[in-house]
Amino acid sequence: MYHYQRQKYMSEFAAKKMICEIGKRMYDRNFVASNDGNISVRVGLNAIICTPTGVSKGFMTPDMLVKVNLKGERISGRLKPSSEMKMHLRVYEENDEVMAVTHAHPQVATSFAIAGIELDRPLLSEAVVLLGRVPIAPYATPGTQEVPDSIAPYCKDHNAVLLANHGALTWGKSLEEAYHRLETLEHYATILMYTSKIIGGTNELNCDQVGTLINLREKMGIKTGGVPTCSQKEITSSLGMESKEEESTKDVGKDEIIESIVAKVTQRILLKLDKGR
Residue ranges covered by each domain of the chain: 2-219, 245-277
pLDDT of res. 143: 86
The CATH architecture that domain 2-219 belongs to is: 3-Layer(aba) Sandwich (3.40)
Confidence at residue 234, expressed as pLDDT on a 0 to 100 scale: 46
Identify whether the C-beta of residue 131 lies closer than 8 Å to the C-beta of residue 188.
yes
Residues of the chain short of pLDDT 50, as ranges, are 2-5, 234-254
Number of neighbours of residue 109 by Cβ within 10 angstroms: 28
Q: How confident is the model at residue 232, as a pLDDT?
A: 72
Position 244 scores a pLDDT of 43
| Contact between residue 99 and residue 173 where contact means Cβ atoms under 8 Å apart | yes
Element (H, E) at 167: strand 167-172
pLDDT at 273: 58
Long-range contacts of 181-185 (CB under 8 A, 24+ apart): 181/102, 181/130, 181/131, 182/26, 182/31, 182/102, 182/104, 182/106, 183/29, 184/126, 184/127, 184/130, 184/131, 185/106, 185/109, 185/119, 185/131, 185/134, 185/160
Q: Which residues contact 172 (CB under 8 A, 6 or more apart)?
A: 98, 99, 100, 159, 178, 180, 181
Which listed residue (12, 21, 73, 84) is catalytic? Answer: 84
Is residue 84 annotated as part of the catalytic site, yes or no?
Answer: yes
pLDDT of res. 235: 38
pLDDT, position 171: 98
What is the pLDDT, as a whole number, of residue 238?
A: 30
